[in-house]
Amino acid sequence: MEEKPDLNKSAFHLAGIIPVAGHKKDFGFQWDNVLMPIAENYTAIERSVMECAYAGCETIWIVCNNDIQPLLRHRLGEVVQDPIWYGRTLSTNPTEHRKPIPIYYVPIHPKDRDRIDCYAWSILHGANTAYWISKQMSIWVTPDKYYVSFPLSVYAEDAPRAHRKLISSENNFFFCYNGKTVKDGEYLGFSFGPDDFIKSRQVIRKEGTREWKHSGDSIPTEKLPLEERWSARYFSLDKVLKPVILVESNVKELEWFYDLSSWDNYTTFFASEESKTIKRPYEGLIKYHEWNGLGVENEENDKN
Q: What distance in Å separates the CA atoms of residue 141 and residue 11, rounded to the nearest whole number? A: 8
pLDDT at 31: 92
In the predicted structure, residue 110 carries a pLDDT above the cut 60: yes
- 50-60: burial string, b at 16+ Cβ within 10 Å, e else: bbbbbbbbbbb
In the predicted structure, residue 283 carries a pLDDT above the cut 50: yes
How far apart, in Å, are the Cα atoms of 197 and each of 123, 139, 214?
9, 18, 25
Let me know how many helices (H) and strands (E) the chain has, helices first.
Answer: 8, 12
What is the share, in percent, of the chain residues with pLDDT greater than 90? Answer: 69
Domain ranges of the chain: 14-209+236-277
Q: What distance in Å separates the CA atoms of residue 66 and residue 243, rounded to the nearest whole number? A: 30
| 158-168 per-position pLDDT tens digit | 999 999 999 99
Secondary structure letter of residue 177 according to DSSP: B
88-102, 128-142, 178-192: range with lowest mean pLDDT: 88-102
Higher pLDDT, 6 or 19: 19
The answer, as to whether pTM is greater than 0.85, is yes
Q: What distance in Å separates the CA atoms of residue 227 and residue 164, rounded to the nearest whole number? A: 44
3-class DSSP state of 21: coil
Give the residue-averaged pLDDT of 201-230: 81
pLDDT at 304: 44
Cβ proximity of 128 and 1 under 8 Å: yes
Q: At what angle do helices 69-76 and 44-55 cross, to 10 degrees?
A: 60
| Domain 14-209+236-277 CATH (choose: 3.30.479.30, 3.20.20.70, 2.40.320.10, 3.90.550.10) | 3.90.550.10
In the predicted structure, residue 209 carries a pLDDT above the cut 90: no
Confidence of residue 299 (pLDDT cuts 50, 70, 90): low
pLDDT at 293: 65
Cβ proximity of 261 and 25 under 8 Å: yes
Give the residue-averaged pLDDT of 66-90: 87
3-7, 222-226, 290-294: range with lowest mean pLDDT: 3-7
